[in-house]
A and B are shown apart, each in its own frame.
Chain A
Amino acid sequence: MSLIDHWKDRHPQPRGGGRIIVYVILLVLVVFLMLKAEDIGETFAVMFSGDGDTTEVVR
Protein backbone atom coordinates (compact mmCIF):
# COMPACT_ATOMS: atom_id res chain seq x y z
CA MET A 1 0.00 0.00 0.00
CA SER A 2 1.54 3.31 -1.07
CA LEU A 3 2.07 6.41 1.04
CA ILE A 4 -1.00 8.02 -0.56
CA ASP A 5 -3.20 4.95 -0.04
CA HIS A 6 -2.20 4.97 3.63
CA TRP A 7 -3.09 8.64 3.80
CA LYS A 8 -6.48 7.98 2.20
CA ASP A 9 -7.09 5.18 4.70
CA ARG A 10 -6.48 7.56 7.57
CA HIS A 11 -8.62 10.29 5.98
CA PRO A 12 -11.96 8.74 4.99
CA GLN A 13 -13.53 11.27 2.64
CA PRO A 14 -17.02 12.44 3.68
CA ARG A 15 -19.46 11.15 1.07
CA GLY A 16 -20.34 14.58 -0.38
CA GLY A 17 -23.15 13.26 -2.62
CA GLY A 18 -25.01 11.54 0.24
CA ARG A 19 -24.82 14.62 2.40
CA ILE A 20 -26.29 16.84 -0.34
CA ILE A 21 -29.27 14.47 -0.81
CA VAL A 22 -30.05 14.73 2.93
CA TYR A 23 -29.96 18.55 2.71
CA VAL A 24 -32.28 18.56 -0.34
CA ILE A 25 -34.81 16.27 1.39
CA LEU A 26 -34.77 18.50 4.49
CA LEU A 27 -35.32 21.60 2.32
CA VAL A 28 -38.26 20.01 0.48
CA LEU A 29 -39.77 18.99 3.82
CA VAL A 30 -39.50 22.51 5.25
CA VAL A 31 -41.07 24.11 2.14
CA PHE A 32 -43.87 21.53 2.17
CA LEU A 33 -44.62 22.21 5.83
CA MET A 34 -44.66 25.97 5.22
CA LEU A 35 -47.12 25.68 2.32
CA LYS A 36 -49.40 23.20 4.01
CA ALA A 37 -49.25 24.66 7.51
CA GLU A 38 -52.88 25.85 7.38
CA ASP A 39 -54.34 22.54 6.14
CA ILE A 40 -52.35 20.56 8.66
CA GLY A 41 -53.50 22.86 11.45
CA GLU A 42 -57.14 22.39 10.41
CA THR A 43 -56.77 18.62 10.20
CA PHE A 44 -55.38 18.56 13.71
CA ALA A 45 -58.14 20.82 14.94
CA VAL A 46 -60.79 18.52 13.45
CA MET A 47 -59.14 15.36 14.78
CA PHE A 48 -58.78 16.60 18.32
CA SER A 49 -61.80 18.88 18.71
CA GLY A 50 -64.50 17.09 20.78
CA ASP A 51 -67.50 18.16 18.62
CA GLY A 52 -66.21 16.86 15.32
CA ASP A 53 -68.52 14.35 13.66
CA THR A 54 -66.18 11.54 12.75
CA THR A 55 -68.97 9.45 11.16
CA GLU A 56 -69.92 12.26 8.87
CA VAL A 57 -71.54 11.07 5.65
CA VAL A 58 -70.53 12.85 2.57
CA ARG A 59 -73.43 14.38 0.90
Chain B
Amino acid sequence: MYEYTDFDEAFVRERVAEFRGQVERRLDGSLTEDEFKPLRLMNGLYLQLHAYMLRIAVPYGTLNGRQMRQFAYIADRWDRGYGHFTTRQNIQFNWPKLQDVPDMLEALADVQMHAMQTSGNCIRNVTADHFSGAATDEIADPRPTAELLRQWSTDHPEFTWLGRKFKIAVTGSEHDRAVIKAHDIGLRLVQDDDGNPGYEVLVGGGLGRTPMLGKVVREFLPKEHLLPYVEAILQVYNLIGRRDNKYKARIKILVHETGIDEIRRLVESTFQENLARFNGVNQEVFDRIEASFAAPEFEPVYDVTPAVDAGLRSWIDTNVADHREPHYAIVTISLKGIGETPGDATSDQMRIMAALAEEFAHDELRISHEQNVILPHVPRRHLAEIYRRLKDAGLATANIGLVSDIIACPGMDYCALATARSIPVAQKISETFADIDRQRDIGPLKIKISGCINACGHHHVGHIGILGLDRAGVENYQITLGGDGTETASIGERAGPGFAYDEIVPAVERLIEAYLDHRSEDTETFLEVYRRMGPAPFKAALYPEAEARSNAA
Protein backbone atom coordinates (compact mmCIF):
# COMPACT_ATOMS: atom_id res chain seq x y z
CA MET B 1 0.00 0.00 0.00
CA TYR B 2 1.03 3.56 -0.55
CA GLU B 3 2.78 5.12 2.46
CA TYR B 4 2.95 8.89 2.82
CA THR B 5 6.28 10.53 2.09
CA ASP B 6 7.39 13.46 4.25
CA PHE B 7 6.00 15.63 1.50
CA ASP B 8 2.53 14.06 1.65
CA GLU B 9 2.53 14.25 5.42
CA ALA B 10 3.52 17.92 5.48
CA PHE B 11 1.05 18.72 2.74
CA VAL B 12 -1.91 17.14 4.49
CA ARG B 13 -1.02 18.72 7.84
CA GLU B 14 -0.70 22.10 6.17
CA ARG B 15 -4.13 21.68 4.62
CA VAL B 16 -5.64 20.85 7.98
CA ALA B 17 -4.06 23.97 9.46
CA GLU B 18 -5.34 26.00 6.54
CA PHE B 19 -8.86 24.68 7.01
CA ARG B 20 -8.69 25.37 10.72
CA GLY B 21 -7.93 28.96 9.81
CA GLN B 22 -10.79 29.06 7.32
CA VAL B 23 -13.24 27.77 9.93
CA GLU B 24 -12.03 30.47 12.33
CA ARG B 25 -12.44 33.11 9.67
CA ARG B 26 -15.97 31.86 9.03
CA LEU B 27 -16.81 31.91 12.72
CA ASP B 28 -15.49 35.46 13.17
CA GLY B 29 -17.31 36.64 10.04
CA SER B 30 -14.35 37.55 7.82
CA LEU B 31 -15.55 34.90 5.38
CA THR B 32 -19.17 34.98 4.24
CA GLU B 33 -21.07 31.73 3.76
CA ASP B 34 -20.84 32.18 0.00
CA GLU B 35 -17.07 32.38 0.20
CA PHE B 36 -16.68 29.69 2.84
CA LYS B 37 -18.88 27.15 1.11
CA PRO B 38 -16.50 26.25 -1.74
CA LEU B 39 -13.62 26.12 0.72
CA ARG B 40 -15.41 23.72 3.06
CA LEU B 41 -16.60 21.66 0.10
CA MET B 42 -13.02 21.32 -1.05
CA ASN B 43 -12.34 19.77 2.33
CA GLY B 44 -15.26 17.39 2.07
CA LEU B 45 -17.66 19.26 4.30
CA TYR B 46 -21.29 19.55 3.18
CA LEU B 47 -24.29 21.03 4.88
CA GLN B 48 -27.07 18.47 4.56
CA LEU B 49 -30.69 18.35 5.65
CA HIS B 50 -30.17 17.92 9.38
CA ALA B 51 -26.47 18.51 9.95
CA TYR B 52 -23.08 18.83 8.34
CA MET B 53 -21.67 15.81 6.56
CA LEU B 54 -17.96 15.07 6.25
CA ARG B 55 -16.93 12.98 3.26
CA ILE B 56 -13.54 11.36 3.56
CA ALA B 57 -11.55 10.02 0.64
CA VAL B 58 -10.49 6.41 0.59
CA PRO B 59 -8.18 6.84 -2.40
CA TYR B 60 -9.03 4.17 -5.00
CA GLY B 61 -10.84 2.38 -2.19
CA THR B 62 -7.71 1.01 -0.53
CA LEU B 63 -7.07 1.18 3.22
CA ASN B 64 -5.46 -0.77 6.06
CA GLY B 65 -6.70 -1.91 9.43
CA ARG B 66 -5.35 1.08 11.30
CA GLN B 67 -7.17 3.45 8.98
CA MET B 68 -10.43 1.54 9.33
CA ARG B 69 -10.02 1.66 13.12
CA GLN B 70 -9.54 5.41 12.93
CA PHE B 71 -12.91 5.67 11.14
CA ALA B 72 -14.41 3.83 14.11
CA TYR B 73 -12.70 6.23 16.50
CA ILE B 74 -13.93 9.26 14.58
CA ALA B 75 -17.46 7.81 14.49
CA ASP B 76 -17.48 7.38 18.27
CA ARG B 77 -15.66 10.55 19.23
CA TRP B 78 -17.26 13.15 16.97
CA ASP B 79 -20.18 11.49 15.27
CA ARG B 80 -22.92 9.02 16.19
CA GLY B 81 -21.12 5.72 16.11
CA TYR B 82 -21.54 4.81 12.44
CA GLY B 83 -20.36 5.76 8.98
CA HIS B 84 -21.72 5.40 5.48
CA PHE B 85 -19.64 4.00 2.62
CA THR B 86 -20.53 5.61 -0.68
CA THR B 87 -20.64 4.70 -4.34
CA ARG B 88 -17.40 6.61 -4.88
CA GLN B 89 -15.34 4.55 -2.46
CA ASN B 90 -15.59 7.26 0.20
CA ILE B 91 -16.93 7.24 3.73
CA GLN B 92 -19.35 9.83 5.06
CA PHE B 93 -20.06 10.89 8.60
CA ASN B 94 -23.46 12.42 9.03
CA TRP B 95 -23.31 14.41 12.26
CA PRO B 96 -20.08 16.40 12.67
CA LYS B 97 -20.08 19.85 14.21
CA LEU B 98 -18.33 22.64 12.33
CA GLN B 99 -15.86 23.42 15.12
CA ASP B 100 -14.89 19.74 15.41
CA VAL B 101 -14.10 19.19 11.74
CA PRO B 102 -10.49 20.45 11.89
CA ASP B 103 -9.84 17.95 14.71
CA MET B 104 -11.45 15.17 12.68
CA LEU B 105 -9.20 16.06 9.76
CA GLU B 106 -6.19 16.03 12.09
CA ALA B 107 -7.18 12.54 13.28
CA LEU B 108 -7.32 11.46 9.64
CA ALA B 109 -3.91 12.92 8.94
CA ASP B 110 -2.61 10.79 11.84
CA VAL B 111 -3.35 7.72 9.71
CA GLN B 112 -2.38 9.21 6.35
CA MET B 113 -5.85 10.09 5.20
CA HIS B 114 -7.68 13.23 4.19
CA ALA B 115 -10.96 14.65 2.95
CA MET B 116 -9.51 16.89 0.25
CA GLN B 117 -11.43 17.23 -2.98
CA THR B 118 -14.21 14.87 -2.05
CA SER B 119 -16.57 17.63 -3.08
CA GLY B 120 -16.62 20.90 -4.96
CA ASN B 121 -16.00 21.67 -8.62
CA CYS B 122 -12.62 20.03 -8.74
CA ILE B 123 -11.07 16.69 -9.63
CA ARG B 124 -12.59 14.27 -7.16
CA ASN B 125 -11.26 11.21 -5.42
CA VAL B 126 -9.90 8.93 -8.17
CA THR B 127 -11.58 5.54 -8.12
CA ALA B 128 -10.29 2.16 -9.25
CA ASP B 129 -11.24 -1.49 -9.48
CA HIS B 130 -11.80 -2.74 -5.92
CA PHE B 131 -10.21 -6.09 -6.83
CA SER B 132 -6.95 -4.40 -7.92
CA GLY B 133 -3.87 -6.50 -7.31
CA ALA B 134 -5.96 -9.58 -6.60
CA ALA B 135 -8.20 -10.14 -9.63
CA THR B 136 -7.59 -13.12 -11.88
CA ASP B 137 -8.20 -11.11 -15.05
CA GLU B 138 -5.91 -8.20 -14.30
CA ILE B 139 -3.41 -6.93 -16.89
CA ALA B 140 -1.81 -4.44 -14.51
CA ASP B 141 -2.66 -2.93 -11.14
CA PRO B 142 -4.51 0.37 -11.72
CA ARG B 143 -3.62 1.82 -8.31
CA PRO B 144 -0.20 3.31 -9.16
CA THR B 145 -1.98 5.24 -11.92
CA ALA B 146 -4.74 6.25 -9.52
CA GLU B 147 -2.23 7.38 -6.89
CA LEU B 148 -0.29 9.33 -9.51
CA LEU B 149 -3.51 11.06 -10.54
CA ARG B 150 -4.39 11.69 -6.92
CA GLN B 151 -1.12 13.49 -6.38
CA TRP B 152 -1.25 15.40 -9.64
CA SER B 153 -4.85 16.54 -9.10
CA THR B 154 -4.39 17.53 -5.46
CA ASP B 155 -4.51 21.31 -5.13
CA HIS B 156 -3.97 21.68 -8.87
CA PRO B 157 -3.81 25.44 -9.41
CA GLU B 158 -5.74 25.34 -12.68
CA PHE B 159 -8.41 22.82 -11.89
CA THR B 160 -9.80 23.64 -8.48
CA TRP B 161 -12.51 26.01 -9.75
CA LEU B 162 -13.93 24.07 -12.66
CA GLY B 163 -17.40 24.49 -14.10
CA ARG B 164 -18.46 21.31 -12.35
CA LYS B 165 -17.06 18.27 -10.55
CA PHE B 166 -14.74 15.96 -12.44
CA LYS B 167 -14.43 12.24 -11.85
CA ILE B 168 -11.74 9.85 -13.03
CA ALA B 169 -11.79 6.05 -12.76
CA VAL B 170 -9.13 3.50 -13.66
CA THR B 171 -9.25 -0.20 -14.36
CA GLY B 172 -6.55 -2.68 -15.20
CA SER B 173 -8.78 -5.62 -16.05
CA GLU B 174 -10.80 -6.91 -18.94
CA HIS B 175 -13.85 -7.04 -16.74
CA ASP B 176 -14.75 -3.49 -15.76
CA ARG B 177 -15.58 -3.33 -12.06
CA ALA B 178 -14.92 0.43 -11.87
CA VAL B 179 -17.71 1.62 -14.22
CA ILE B 180 -15.15 3.62 -16.21
CA LYS B 181 -17.63 4.45 -18.96
CA ALA B 182 -19.69 6.47 -16.50
CA HIS B 183 -16.83 8.83 -15.61
CA ASP B 184 -15.63 12.16 -16.97
CA ILE B 185 -12.41 10.35 -17.79
CA GLY B 186 -12.14 6.57 -17.81
CA LEU B 187 -8.76 4.89 -18.14
CA ARG B 188 -8.09 1.29 -19.02
CA LEU B 189 -4.58 -0.07 -18.78
CA VAL B 190 -3.66 -1.75 -22.06
CA GLN B 191 -0.60 -2.76 -24.06
CA ASP B 192 0.22 -1.85 -27.63
CA ASP B 193 1.21 -4.45 -30.23
CA ASP B 194 4.80 -4.37 -29.02
CA GLY B 195 3.79 -4.92 -25.43
CA ASN B 196 4.41 -1.35 -24.27
CA PRO B 197 2.17 -0.23 -21.43
CA GLY B 198 -0.32 2.54 -21.91
CA TYR B 199 -3.94 3.55 -21.62
CA GLU B 200 -7.13 3.54 -23.55
CA VAL B 201 -8.65 6.93 -22.69
CA LEU B 202 -12.40 7.52 -22.56
CA VAL B 203 -13.96 10.88 -22.04
CA GLY B 204 -17.40 12.30 -21.50
CA GLY B 205 -19.18 9.60 -19.55
CA GLY B 206 -21.45 10.44 -16.67
CA LEU B 207 -24.85 9.75 -15.21
CA GLY B 208 -27.02 12.48 -13.73
CA ARG B 209 -29.78 14.22 -15.66
CA THR B 210 -28.32 13.34 -19.05
CA PRO B 211 -26.67 9.93 -18.77
CA MET B 212 -23.96 9.22 -21.33
CA LEU B 213 -21.32 6.60 -21.83
CA GLY B 214 -17.73 7.72 -22.29
CA LYS B 215 -16.23 7.75 -25.78
CA VAL B 216 -12.74 6.76 -26.77
CA VAL B 217 -10.65 9.89 -27.28
CA ARG B 218 -7.31 8.09 -27.56
CA GLU B 219 -6.97 4.40 -28.29
CA PHE B 220 -3.46 4.12 -27.03
CA LEU B 221 -1.70 6.67 -24.87
CA PRO B 222 1.85 5.74 -23.90
CA LYS B 223 2.09 5.44 -20.16
CA GLU B 224 4.59 8.27 -19.74
CA HIS B 225 2.26 10.78 -21.41
CA LEU B 226 -0.60 10.30 -19.00
CA LEU B 227 -0.34 13.54 -17.03
CA PRO B 228 0.24 15.98 -19.91
CA TYR B 229 -2.62 14.35 -21.79
CA VAL B 230 -5.08 14.39 -18.91
CA GLU B 231 -4.00 17.97 -18.24
CA ALA B 232 -4.88 18.84 -21.83
CA ILE B 233 -8.36 17.33 -21.47
CA LEU B 234 -8.95 19.31 -18.31
CA GLN B 235 -7.69 22.53 -19.91
CA VAL B 236 -9.99 22.19 -22.87
CA TYR B 237 -12.87 21.48 -20.51
CA ASN B 238 -12.05 24.32 -18.14
CA LEU B 239 -11.85 26.85 -20.95
CA ILE B 240 -14.76 25.93 -23.19
CA GLY B 241 -17.05 23.79 -21.05
CA ARG B 242 -20.41 25.45 -20.39
CA ARG B 243 -20.92 27.46 -17.23
CA ASP B 244 -24.32 28.92 -17.95
CA ASN B 245 -26.30 25.97 -16.64
CA LYS B 246 -25.34 23.63 -13.82
CA TYR B 247 -26.94 20.69 -15.59
CA LYS B 248 -24.98 21.30 -18.79
CA ALA B 249 -21.62 21.96 -17.20
CA ARG B 250 -20.17 18.45 -17.11
CA ILE B 251 -17.66 17.48 -19.78
CA LYS B 252 -20.14 14.90 -21.17
CA ILE B 253 -22.25 17.80 -22.48
CA LEU B 254 -19.21 19.47 -24.03
CA VAL B 255 -18.25 16.22 -25.74
CA HIS B 256 -21.82 15.68 -26.88
CA GLU B 257 -22.32 19.21 -28.22
CA THR B 258 -18.86 19.63 -29.73
CA GLY B 259 -18.44 16.10 -31.04
CA ILE B 260 -15.72 13.67 -30.05
CA ASP B 261 -13.63 14.37 -33.17
CA GLU B 262 -13.37 18.09 -32.51
CA ILE B 263 -12.66 17.43 -28.82
CA ARG B 264 -9.92 15.02 -29.85
CA ARG B 265 -8.39 17.66 -32.13
CA LEU B 266 -8.44 20.32 -29.39
CA VAL B 267 -7.03 17.97 -26.79
CA GLU B 268 -4.27 16.75 -29.07
CA SER B 269 -3.11 20.25 -29.98
CA THR B 270 -3.15 21.40 -26.36
CA PHE B 271 -1.34 18.21 -25.42
CA GLN B 272 1.43 18.93 -27.95
CA GLU B 273 1.93 22.40 -26.51
CA ASN B 274 1.91 21.08 -22.95
CA LEU B 275 4.58 18.53 -23.77
CA ALA B 276 7.12 21.31 -24.12
CA ARG B 277 6.45 22.46 -20.58
CA PHE B 278 5.73 19.16 -18.91
CA ASN B 279 6.56 16.01 -20.78
CA GLY B 280 5.91 13.32 -18.29
CA VAL B 281 6.59 12.52 -14.74
CA ASN B 282 9.49 12.46 -12.37
CA GLN B 283 10.58 8.85 -12.70
CA GLU B 284 11.86 8.60 -9.16
CA VAL B 285 8.52 9.67 -7.72
CA PHE B 286 6.66 7.30 -9.97
CA ASP B 287 8.95 4.36 -9.24
CA ARG B 288 8.32 4.81 -5.55
CA ILE B 289 4.57 4.85 -6.17
CA GLU B 290 4.75 1.68 -8.26
CA ALA B 291 6.89 -0.10 -5.71
CA SER B 292 4.47 0.66 -2.93
CA PHE B 293 1.77 -1.38 -4.64
CA ALA B 294 3.85 -4.53 -4.91
CA ALA B 295 1.86 -7.61 -3.98
CA PRO B 296 2.06 -8.69 -0.35
CA GLU B 297 4.24 -11.67 0.43
CA PHE B 298 1.80 -14.45 -0.20
CA GLU B 299 2.11 -17.48 2.03
CA PRO B 300 3.20 -20.77 0.49
CA VAL B 301 0.70 -23.20 -0.93
CA TYR B 302 -0.73 -25.73 1.52
CA ASP B 303 -3.31 -28.45 1.34
CA VAL B 304 -6.82 -27.22 1.84
CA THR B 305 -9.13 -29.54 3.75
CA PRO B 306 -11.75 -27.21 5.04
CA ALA B 307 -14.82 -28.41 6.86
CA VAL B 308 -17.73 -26.57 5.29
CA ASP B 309 -21.22 -26.39 6.68
CA ALA B 310 -24.16 -25.17 4.63
CA GLY B 311 -24.01 -21.55 5.85
CA LEU B 312 -20.33 -21.25 5.04
CA ARG B 313 -20.85 -22.98 1.71
CA SER B 314 -23.51 -20.54 0.64
CA TRP B 315 -21.47 -17.55 1.83
CA ILE B 316 -18.43 -18.78 -0.12
CA ASP B 317 -20.60 -19.22 -3.22
CA THR B 318 -21.75 -15.62 -3.23
CA ASN B 319 -19.23 -13.53 -1.29
CA VAL B 320 -15.92 -15.14 -2.14
CA ALA B 321 -14.22 -14.66 -5.50
CA ASP B 322 -11.15 -16.32 -6.98
CA HIS B 323 -7.79 -14.70 -6.37
CA ARG B 324 -4.91 -14.72 -8.80
CA GLU B 325 -3.17 -17.04 -6.32
CA PRO B 326 -5.32 -20.17 -6.32
CA HIS B 327 -4.87 -20.80 -2.58
CA TYR B 328 -6.06 -17.27 -1.86
CA ALA B 329 -9.51 -15.75 -2.17
CA ILE B 330 -11.14 -12.32 -2.36
CA VAL B 331 -13.76 -11.87 0.33
CA THR B 332 -16.56 -9.34 -0.04
CA ILE B 333 -18.16 -8.36 3.26
CA SER B 334 -21.74 -7.37 2.62
CA LEU B 335 -22.86 -4.09 4.14
CA LYS B 336 -26.34 -4.98 2.90
CA GLY B 337 -27.74 -6.91 5.83
CA ILE B 338 -31.43 -7.64 5.34
CA GLY B 339 -33.37 -4.49 6.21
CA GLU B 340 -30.22 -2.48 6.93
CA THR B 341 -29.13 0.81 5.39
CA PRO B 342 -26.92 -0.04 2.38
CA GLY B 343 -23.32 0.96 3.01
CA ASP B 344 -23.65 1.73 6.71
CA ALA B 345 -21.28 0.21 9.24
CA THR B 346 -21.16 0.77 12.99
CA SER B 347 -17.91 1.56 14.75
CA ASP B 348 -17.88 -1.98 16.22
CA GLN B 349 -18.28 -3.48 12.78
CA MET B 350 -15.45 -1.31 11.47
CA ARG B 351 -13.19 -2.55 14.25
CA ILE B 352 -14.05 -6.17 13.48
CA MET B 353 -13.32 -5.71 9.78
CA ALA B 354 -10.02 -4.03 10.69
CA ALA B 355 -9.08 -6.91 12.98
CA LEU B 356 -9.86 -9.50 10.29
CA ALA B 357 -7.67 -7.67 7.81
CA GLU B 358 -4.84 -7.44 10.28
CA GLU B 359 -5.01 -11.00 11.53
CA PHE B 360 -5.75 -12.90 8.35
CA ALA B 361 -5.51 -10.79 5.24
CA HIS B 362 -2.22 -8.93 4.87
CA ASP B 363 -3.72 -5.87 6.53
CA GLU B 364 -5.61 -4.68 3.48
CA LEU B 365 -9.21 -3.65 2.93
CA ARG B 366 -11.07 -2.15 0.03
CA ILE B 367 -14.25 -0.17 -0.32
CA SER B 368 -16.24 -1.03 -3.43
CA HIS B 369 -18.41 1.40 -5.36
CA GLU B 370 -21.14 -1.10 -4.62
CA GLN B 371 -20.88 -0.04 -0.98
CA ASN B 372 -19.34 -3.20 0.38
CA VAL B 373 -16.01 -3.86 2.09
CA ILE B 374 -13.49 -6.23 0.62
CA LEU B 375 -10.63 -8.28 2.03
CA PRO B 376 -8.58 -8.62 -1.17
CA HIS B 377 -5.95 -11.13 -0.03
CA VAL B 378 -7.31 -13.95 2.11
CA PRO B 379 -5.60 -17.36 2.40
CA ARG B 380 -8.41 -19.82 1.84
CA ARG B 381 -7.59 -21.71 5.04
CA HIS B 382 -8.91 -18.74 7.06
CA LEU B 383 -12.28 -18.51 5.34
CA ALA B 384 -14.16 -20.51 7.95
CA GLU B 385 -12.86 -18.45 10.86
CA ILE B 386 -13.52 -15.19 9.04
CA TYR B 387 -17.05 -16.29 8.27
CA ARG B 388 -17.65 -17.21 11.91
CA ARG B 389 -16.50 -13.81 13.16
CA LEU B 390 -18.41 -11.91 10.52
CA LYS B 391 -21.52 -13.83 11.44
CA ASP B 392 -21.16 -12.82 15.09
CA ALA B 393 -20.91 -9.20 13.98
CA GLY B 394 -23.95 -9.37 11.72
CA LEU B 395 -21.74 -9.02 8.66
CA ALA B 396 -22.07 -12.43 7.02
CA THR B 397 -25.07 -11.82 4.77
CA ALA B 398 -24.47 -14.05 1.74
CA ASN B 399 -25.98 -11.80 -0.90
CA ILE B 400 -23.22 -10.29 -3.04
CA GLY B 401 -24.54 -9.61 -6.54
CA LEU B 402 -28.04 -10.71 -5.59
CA VAL B 403 -31.32 -8.85 -5.35
CA SER B 404 -30.70 -7.53 -1.81
CA ASP B 405 -27.16 -6.28 -2.59
CA ILE B 406 -28.67 -2.93 -3.47
CA ILE B 407 -26.85 0.32 -4.11
CA ALA B 408 -28.72 3.24 -2.58
CA CYS B 409 -27.65 6.83 -2.15
CA PRO B 410 -28.55 8.63 1.11
CA GLY B 411 -31.62 10.22 -0.48
CA MET B 412 -33.97 12.39 1.47
CA ASP B 413 -33.09 10.86 4.80
CA TYR B 414 -29.88 12.93 4.73
CA CYS B 415 -29.20 14.64 1.43
CA ALA B 416 -30.14 18.27 0.94
CA LEU B 417 -30.51 17.81 -2.81
CA ALA B 418 -32.82 14.81 -2.65
CA THR B 419 -36.28 14.75 -4.16
CA ALA B 420 -37.29 11.49 -2.45
CA ARG B 421 -36.00 8.83 -0.08
CA SER B 422 -33.92 5.93 -1.35
CA ILE B 423 -32.76 4.07 1.77
CA PRO B 424 -36.20 2.86 2.94
CA VAL B 425 -36.98 1.60 -0.55
CA ALA B 426 -33.80 -0.49 -0.44
CA GLN B 427 -34.65 -1.71 3.04
CA LYS B 428 -38.10 -2.82 1.98
CA ILE B 429 -36.93 -4.60 -1.16
CA SER B 430 -34.33 -6.39 0.90
CA GLU B 431 -36.94 -7.44 3.48
CA THR B 432 -39.28 -8.61 0.76
CA PHE B 433 -36.60 -10.89 -0.65
CA ALA B 434 -35.07 -11.75 2.71
CA ASP B 435 -34.92 -15.48 1.97
CA ILE B 436 -31.44 -16.13 0.65
CA ASP B 437 -32.49 -19.31 -1.19
CA ARG B 438 -35.06 -17.31 -3.08
CA GLN B 439 -32.40 -14.68 -3.87
CA ARG B 440 -30.06 -17.34 -5.16
CA ASP B 441 -32.79 -18.72 -7.35
CA ILE B 442 -33.33 -15.24 -8.82
CA GLY B 443 -29.61 -15.01 -9.45
CA PRO B 444 -27.40 -12.04 -10.36
CA LEU B 445 -29.41 -8.84 -10.22
CA LYS B 446 -28.30 -5.29 -9.64
CA ILE B 447 -30.84 -2.87 -8.23
CA LYS B 448 -29.60 0.70 -7.90
CA ILE B 449 -31.52 3.55 -6.30
CA SER B 450 -30.97 7.32 -6.45
CA GLY B 451 -32.89 9.93 -4.49
CA CYS B 452 -32.64 12.55 -7.21
CA ILE B 453 -31.58 13.15 -10.77
CA ASN B 454 -27.92 13.49 -9.72
CA ALA B 455 -27.79 9.71 -9.81
CA CYS B 456 -25.28 9.06 -7.02
CA GLY B 457 -26.98 5.67 -6.72
CA HIS B 458 -26.02 4.91 -10.37
CA HIS B 459 -29.61 3.96 -11.18
CA HIS B 460 -29.02 4.29 -14.94
CA VAL B 461 -26.62 1.35 -14.86
CA GLY B 462 -28.75 -0.87 -12.62
CA HIS B 463 -30.41 -3.88 -14.21
CA ILE B 464 -33.34 -2.37 -12.37
CA GLY B 465 -32.81 1.32 -11.69
CA ILE B 466 -35.02 3.33 -9.38
CA LEU B 467 -35.08 7.11 -9.33
CA GLY B 468 -36.97 8.93 -6.57
CA LEU B 469 -38.71 12.14 -7.62
CA ASP B 470 -41.00 14.71 -6.10
CA ARG B 471 -44.23 14.67 -8.10
CA ALA B 472 -46.56 17.41 -6.93
CA GLY B 473 -45.37 17.13 -3.35
CA VAL B 474 -45.43 13.33 -3.17
CA GLU B 475 -42.58 10.83 -3.48
CA ASN B 476 -42.70 9.08 -6.83
CA TYR B 477 -40.36 6.43 -8.21
CA GLN B 478 -39.36 5.96 -11.81
CA ILE B 479 -38.03 2.63 -13.03
CA THR B 480 -35.35 2.11 -15.66
CA LEU B 481 -34.56 -1.30 -17.05
CA GLY B 482 -31.58 -2.97 -18.66
CA GLY B 483 -28.78 -0.75 -17.42
CA ASP B 484 -25.31 -2.22 -17.05
CA GLY B 485 -22.16 -0.68 -15.55
CA THR B 486 -19.60 -3.23 -16.70
CA GLU B 487 -17.54 -3.62 -19.89
CA THR B 488 -20.82 -4.30 -21.69
CA ALA B 489 -22.20 -1.00 -20.38
CA SER B 490 -25.59 0.32 -21.29
CA ILE B 491 -27.91 3.01 -19.96
CA GLY B 492 -31.20 1.73 -18.64
CA GLU B 493 -34.40 2.63 -20.46
CA ARG B 494 -37.34 4.23 -18.73
CA ALA B 495 -40.13 1.73 -18.26
CA GLY B 496 -43.05 4.18 -18.07
CA PRO B 497 -44.95 6.20 -15.47
CA GLY B 498 -43.59 6.25 -11.93
CA PHE B 499 -44.88 4.55 -8.80
CA ALA B 500 -45.90 5.92 -5.42
CA TYR B 501 -43.81 5.12 -2.36
CA ASP B 502 -46.01 2.17 -1.34
CA GLU B 503 -46.28 0.87 -4.91
CA ILE B 504 -42.61 0.69 -5.79
CA VAL B 505 -41.68 -2.48 -3.95
CA PRO B 506 -44.63 -4.48 -5.36
CA ALA B 507 -43.64 -3.17 -8.80
CA VAL B 508 -40.14 -4.56 -8.34
CA GLU B 509 -41.64 -7.87 -7.25
CA ARG B 510 -43.71 -8.01 -10.42
CA LEU B 511 -40.61 -7.36 -12.51
CA ILE B 512 -38.81 -10.21 -10.87
CA GLU B 513 -41.73 -12.56 -11.31
CA ALA B 514 -41.88 -11.64 -14.97
CA TYR B 515 -38.21 -12.45 -15.27
CA LEU B 516 -38.66 -15.82 -13.59
CA ASP B 517 -41.56 -16.63 -15.92
CA HIS B 518 -39.58 -15.76 -19.01
CA ARG B 519 -36.14 -17.10 -18.38
CA SER B 520 -35.33 -20.00 -20.65
CA GLU B 521 -33.22 -21.80 -18.09
CA ASP B 522 -32.17 -21.23 -14.50
CA THR B 523 -28.84 -19.74 -15.49
CA GLU B 524 -30.23 -17.06 -17.78
CA THR B 525 -29.91 -13.81 -15.81
CA PHE B 526 -32.33 -10.92 -15.55
CA LEU B 527 -30.16 -8.78 -17.82
CA GLU B 528 -29.85 -11.56 -20.39
CA VAL B 529 -33.61 -12.01 -20.52
CA TYR B 530 -34.06 -8.27 -20.89
CA ARG B 531 -31.54 -8.15 -23.71
CA ARG B 532 -33.13 -11.14 -25.42
CA MET B 533 -36.78 -10.11 -25.11
CA GLY B 534 -36.68 -6.34 -24.75
CA PRO B 535 -38.85 -4.34 -22.40
CA ALA B 536 -42.29 -5.63 -23.46
CA PRO B 537 -42.78 -8.49 -20.97
CA PHE B 538 -41.46 -6.32 -18.16
CA LYS B 539 -43.70 -3.41 -19.03
CA ALA B 540 -46.65 -5.76 -19.14
CA ALA B 541 -45.80 -6.88 -15.61
CA LEU B 542 -45.32 -3.33 -14.37
CA TYR B 543 -48.53 -1.95 -15.85
CA PRO B 544 -51.09 -4.76 -15.84
CA GLU B 545 -54.04 -2.35 -16.32
CA ALA B 546 -52.56 -0.89 -19.49
CA GLU B 547 -51.88 -4.41 -20.67
CA ALA B 548 -55.49 -5.44 -19.95
CA ARG B 549 -56.79 -2.38 -21.79
CA SER B 550 -54.75 -3.03 -24.89
CA ASN B 551 -55.77 -6.70 -24.91
CA ALA B 552 -59.41 -5.67 -24.71
CA ALA B 553 -59.06 -3.20 -27.54
A binds B: no
Chain B residues with CB under 8 Å of chain A are none
Chain A residues with CB under 8 Å of chain B are none
